[in-house]
Amino acid sequence: MLLTADTLLTGRELLRPGWIDVSDARVGAVGAGTPPRPADRDLGAVTVVPGFVDTHVHGGGGTNFSAALRTDTATAVDFHRRHGTTTLVASLVTAGPDDLLRQVTGLAADVRDGLLDGIHLEGPWLSTVRCGAHQPALMRDPDPEEIDRVLKAAAGTIRMITIAPEREGARAAIERIVDAGVVAAVGHTDATYDQTRAAIEAGATVATHLFNAMRPINTREAGPVIALLEDPRVTVELITDGVHVDPALYRHVSHSAGPDRVSLITDAISAAGMSDGAYQLGPLEVDVVDGVARVSGTPTIAGSTATMDHQFRFAVQHSGLGRDEALMAAVRQASINPTRALGLPDSGLVARASADLVVLDADLMVVGVLRRGSWVFEAERGN
């Protein structure tokens, strides 16, 4: 299947016009200008980008990944695919030991079946001081035996584990996690600058939703944000939903960290795609008002109701760059950088990569999604 479009971004270059040849669920070739043969389909005045990669998402479409039920997982995945997410890593919030094992075991089967692309444990080894939308009573120090049990149950499907560096045994846990081939992330933390530096030296390479649920920057104690930002080995997650991070902060981080170190995430919960109301995030009750989720009865933000296409549009709009430069940067942040950070297969539109792409209209709204060479969403077109 050969597709043509007015604009095509591969993740490495911008082609205008561009074409892409898809064969056996993979990209055969891409190019600019006239294609090597007549197109099977001319997509027209659209922008084609690599499929979005969400490495931090708890649910959507009314369901949570923490339920670890195939039907619930499939509902959430289908919802996010319709918004351009072709690679999805399911995130789990803090849970008790037995529940955590049950959840990991259930989701591991979904990873093996290709429904999910991995599991992210956002807890339980986090700071109660920076608990955010996690249950403090269930948080605990990382125990080597529990870590081993969880990793064994996952059988290679866990991609990332978030940990607070100041917890007792955190450094040894990070080393254990990294030795198992899993990415260690720093988040939900009240760590000092030096404690965060120690975690990075131990092998941590991702900052879980930078700024949020972290000790803030202080003139006399730089804290985790500065330690994570200044180290070129660290990829920093940002929730660009217009609620978690101010546009000026997004621009500052993008410009200071450079093109390869920012990863856009949704941190979406079950309320994504749903109306305002009452929802659950793990064991906690969440209220959504005007699209903003908060732990019930508190001002604490509880994840987001956003999708990756929303994050992408925010990035383009608030980058401070020209249109083409902004598109190139957003593609890296929404597709290329997340896969590199977690060691996932190349998400760029390049030869031999999976044929995952998103078709965007002039307003950057999703009008088509191709995953592994098959259309999983096509918007209805007017007459």
Report the percent of the chain where pLDDT is more than 70.
99
Structure tokens at 129: 């001081």
The pLDDT mean for the chain works out to 97
Q: What share of the chain in percent tops pLDDT 90?
A: 98
Q: Is 252 annotated as a binding residue?
A: no
Taking the C-alpha atoms of residue 118 and residue 91, their distance in angstroms, rounded to an integer, is: 9
Instruction: Give the pLDDT of residue 383.
Output: 41
Whole-number pLDDT of residue 99: 97
pTM of the model: 0.97
- Other beta carbons within 10 angstroms of residue 61's beta carbon come to 19
- In this structure, what token pair is assigned to residue 193? 């600058």
Task: For residues 368 and 334, give the distance between their C-alpha atoms in angstroms, rounded to a whole number.
Answer: 17
The number of helices, as runs of H, and strands, as runs of E, in the chain is 10, 23
Residue 381, pLDDT score: 67
Average pLDDT for 275-285: 95
Residue 212 labelled as part of a binding site: yes
Chain Cα centroid distance, residue 46: 25
267 noted as active-site residue: yes
Q: Give dist(CA 376, CA 63) in Å, integer.
A: 20
pLDDT score, position 238: 98
Distance (Å, rounded) from C-alpha 104 to C-alpha 68? 8
CA distance 79 to 377: 10
Q: Which of 117, 190, 231, 267 is catalytic?
A: 267
φ, ψ at 341 (rounded to 5°): -65, -35
Beta strands in 70-173 (DSSP E): 85-92, 119-122, 158-163
pLDDT in tens, 242-272: 999 999 999 999 999 999 999 999 999 999 9
* 29 known member of a binding site: no
- Please determine, for residue 82, whether its predicted confidence score (pLDDT) is greater than 50: yes
56 is in an annotated binding site: no
The answer to the question of whether 74 is labelled as a binding residue is no
**Mean pLDDT over residues 82-92, rounded?**
98
* Greater model confidence, 217 or 382: 217
Closest CA relative to residue 343, chosen from 184, 196, 230, 220 = 184
- Known binding residue 302? Answer is yes
User: Two tokens at 348?
Assistant: 């760029």
SS3 at position 181: coil
Q: Is 134 annotated as belonging to a binding site?
A: no
Q: What is the CA radius of gyration of the chain?
A: 20
299-333 pLDDT tens trace: 999 999 999 999 999 999 999 999 999 999 999 99
How is residue 367 written in tokens?
Answer: 């009008």
* Residue environment code for 183-203, b if the CB has 16+ CB neighbours within 10 A, otherwise e: bbbbbbbbbbbebbbbbbebb
User: Is 60 exceeded by the pLDDT of residue 382?
Assistant: no
Which pLDDT value is given to residue 50?
A: 98
For residues 322 and 314, give the distance between their C-alpha atoms in angstroms, rounded to a whole number.
14
